[in-house]
Amino acid sequence: MDKIEYEKIYLAYKDNVIEEFQLSPDNYNDVEKYNSWKVDSAKSAEVVTDARYLRNLIIKILVCLVIDILLIIIWIKLDSIVIIPRDVISNRKLIGSLAKNDFKQKFAGSYLGTVWAFVQPIITVLVYWFVFEKALNVGTQSTKAGIGIPFVLWLIAGLVPWFFFSEVLSSGTNCLIEYNYLVKKVVFKISTLPVVKSISSLFVHMFFIVFTIILYSCYSYFPSLYTLQLLYYSFCMFVLSLGLIYAFSAIMVFFRDLSQIVNVLLQIGMWMTPIMWNMDAMANRIPGWAMTILKLNPMYYVVNGYRDALYNNMWFWERPGMTAYFWIFTIIVTIGGMAIFRKLQQHFADVL
């Protein structure tokens, strides 16, 4: 056995490392051991395959159960769910005029007026770009195709959706307190106020989508059919944030500290979402369980979606698992938010 020389050939792939030994010509006595080792390796591979199949089966069963529970909740809460969308549709013209007025009132009295709504986010992008690309020398970021993309393009694709999401939650949480004079009016449909705040923030977001497309074009990343998905992902974010606003604004009437808590959570959420750090590049440094938790963040789906639309050239249906999870989560949040709003609505005027 001392004269036997083994040459190890490592065939590495994502989940397992297979060690295959190439025997020397003099090593005929160990052929049986070698064949036995290959059989054991094949059995191990079958066990791994069976475990993956079982895991995927359990996940599919759980998803089906969640969908069934969701349908039951929708059926039970159907009245509460239908009333609010009905009020929104019937008062759509009023919502539009209130949203325009709300957008103008944010910067009323300042010399530049509504220009500040666009200047502040642009300056924020420039500061982050200078700190990360120039000061810290981060450099280009790799796409899913392995192609390097300028850091400023990669960064703005994550910041633009987050600007909208954080602005909607910050302003929407206070919408009932800000418009308390309307809440006290019996004839006014107060369920429209969260929508007013969301649309008011949407004006700035639409501008930044156009700005982002122009910036990408300057770097020869021209719009394509994939770019149209920005409208889809904006809608995803709009529905998600609206559901959260209905819950937060209702609770805010009784618990005024919620506004500060939301701002703190937004700061944490910004760094928990891969906006200024590349999750693909950090995959080897972050444990698998932590990576799974990070992907449960619904804004991970939206931020990734913006990047898929702008330079990865991927359709949202190419991520069926993440798309299904996002919409299940969003529908639950929206239904829950509307139910909380309807439950507490009768006490708003008394408290305010």
Give residue 40's pLDDT: 56
Q: What residue ranges do the domains of the chain occupy?
A: 1-76, 83-351
Give residue 252's pLDDT: 92
- CA-to-CA separations, 318 to 175, 278, 309, 310, in angstroms, rounded: 37, 20, 12, 15
Give residue 240's pLDDT: 94
Q: Please state, in angstroms and rounded to a whole number, the distance separating the CA atoms of residues 189 and 87.
A: 7
Give residue 31's pLDDT: 53
- CA-to-CA separations, 206 to 127, 171, 231, 326, in angstroms, rounded: 22, 18, 9, 22
- CA-to-CA separations, 284 to 287, 291, 322, in angstroms, rounded: 8, 10, 21
Give residue 247's pLDDT: 92
Contacts for 214 with CB less than 8 Å, ≥ 6 apart: none
Q: Indicate the pairing of strand 141-142 with strand 6-12.
A: unpaired
Count Cβ atoms within 10 A of the Cβ of residue 235 and give its class: 0-12 exposed, 13-18 middle, 19 or more buried. Answer: exposed
pTM reported for the whole predicted model: 0.75
Give residue 330's pLDDT: 92
Give residue 327's pLDDT: 92
Per-residue pLDDT of the chain (352 residues; tens, 9 = 90+): 444 444 444 344 444 444 444 444 455 455 555 555 555 555 555 555 666 777 777 877 777 777 777 677 666 666 666 777 787 888 888 888 888 888 878 776 667 667 777 787 888 888 887 877 777 666 676 666 666 788 888 888 889 999 999 999 998 898 898 888 888 776 778 888 899 989 988 888 998 899 889 988 988 888 889 999 999 999 999 999 999 999 999 999 988 889 899 999 999 988 888 888 877 777 677 777 778 888 888 999 999 999 989 888 888 888 888 898 899 899 889 988 888 888 888 888 777 6
